[in-house]
Structure 1
Amino acid sequence: MRWALATLIVFSVAPNPAAAKEPTPGLSQSIAADQPLATGRAMLAAGHVDIGPRYVDDRWALLIHDGTQAKPVWRDPDETLLRVSDAALQTVPDDPAYAFLGVDAGKRVYVVPQTQNQDVVWLGWNTQDPRVMQTIDRGVTLTLLGVQGPGTLTTYLQSGNFAAPQPLWRSADPAAQPFWAEVNTHTHANWVFTEPGVYLIAVQVSADLISGEKASATGTLRFAVGDATSTDEALAATADLPTAHGQAPPDGDRTEPGASTDGANSQLLVVLSGAAILLAAGLVFLLLRGHGARRRAEQERRPSPSGDQP
Structure 2
Amino acid sequence: MTLAAQPASPDPALDQSPDPALDQSIAPDQSIAPDQPVAADPAVLAAGHVDIGPRYVDDEWTLLLHDDAAQPVWRDPDRTVLRVTDAALQTVPDDSVYGFLDVPAGTEVHVVPQVQHPDVVWVGWNTQDPRVMQTIDRGVTLELAGVEGPGEVTMYLQAGTFSEPQVLWRSTEPPGQPMWVEVNTHTHANWVFTAPGVYLVAVRVSADLVGGEQVSAVRHLRFAVGDATSTDDALAAQPDDVAAAPVASDGAEDQAAASDGDGTGTWLVGGLVLATAVLAVALVVVVLRGRAVRRRVEQERAAP
TM-score, normalised to structure 1, is: 0.72
Residues 142 and 206, structure 2, Cα contact 8 Å, conserved in 1: yes
Shift of 1:174: 2.5
Letter in 2 for 1:238: Q
Shift of 1:232: 1.4
Residues 38 and 73, structure 1, Cα contact 8 Å, conserved in 2: yes
> Residues 3 and 174 (structure 1 numbering): CA distance in 2 closer, same or farther, change over 3 Å?
same
Shift of 1:257: 5.1
Match of 1:242 in 2: 242
CA offsets 1:255-309 (integer angstroms, 9 cap, x no match): x759xxxxxxxxxxxxxxxxxxxxxxxxxxxxxxxxxxxxxxxxxxxxxxxxxxx
Residues 147 and 241, structure 1, Cα contact 8 Å, conserved in 2: no
Distance in 2 separating the partners of 1:50 and 1:201: 14
Match of 1:29 in 2: 30
> Residues 88 and 56 (structure 1 numbering): CA distance in 2 closer, same or farther, change over 3 Å?
same
Shift of 1:161: 1.1
Match of 1:170 in 2: 170
Letter in 2 for 1:43: V
Distance in 1 separating the partners of 2:161 and 2:213: 41
Shift of 1:208: 0.9
Note the aligned Cα RMSD (angstroms): 2.1
Residues 114 and 189, structure 2, Cα contact 8 Å, conserved in 1: yes
CA offsets 1:48-107 (integer angstroms, 9 cap, x no match): 0000000111111100001111x2000110000000000000000111111111111110
Q: How does 1:1-310 map to 2 (within 5 A)?
A: 1-3=1-3, 25-69=26-70, 71-244=71-244
Match of 1:270 in 2: none
Distance in 2 separating the partners of 1:180 and 1:168: 11
Letter in 2 for 1:26: A
Q: Which moved more, 1:173-182 or 1:218-227?
A: 173-182
Distance in 2 separating the partners of 1:24 and 1:121: 15
Letter in 2 for 1:134: Q
Distance in 2 separating the partners of 1:103 and 1:154: 11
Residues 45 and 82, structure 2, Cα contact 8 Å, conserved in 1: yes
Give every structure 1 segment of 4 or more consecutive aligned residues whose post-TM-superposition deviation is greater than 6 Å: 4-7
CA offsets 1:218-247 (integer angstroms, 9 cap, x no match): 1000000000001211111111242536xx
Shift of 1:3: 2.8
Distance in 1 separating the partners of 2:48 and 2:175: 31
Could you tell me which runs of 5 or more consecutive residues in structure 2 were left unpaired when the two chains were aligned: 6-16, 19-23, 249-304
Letter in 1 for 2:41: G
Q: Number of aligned pairs?
A: 233
Letter in 2 for 1:129: D
Distance in 2 separating the partners of 1:160 and 1:199: 28
Distance in 1 separating the partners of 2:162 and 2:4: 10
Letter in 1 for 2:40: T
SS in 2 for 1:201: strand
SS in 2 for 1:133: helix
Report which structure shows greater RCO (CA 8 Å, sep ≥6): 2
Letter in 2 for 1:135: T
Residues 198 and 222, structure 2, Cα contact 8 Å, conserved in 1: yes
SS in 2 for 1:105: coil
Letter in 1 for 2:161: N
Residues 4 and 91, structure 2, Cα contact 8 Å, conserved in 1: no
SS in 2 for 1:235: helix
Could you tell me which runs of 5 or more consecutive residues in structure 1 were left unpaired when the two chains were aligned: 8-22, 246-255, 259-310
Distance in 2 separating the partners of 1:41 and 1:140: 27
Letter in 2 for 1:172: T
Shift of 1:41: 0.7
Distance in 2 separating the partners of 1:66 and 1:136: 22
Shift of 1:214: 1.0
Larger Rg: 1
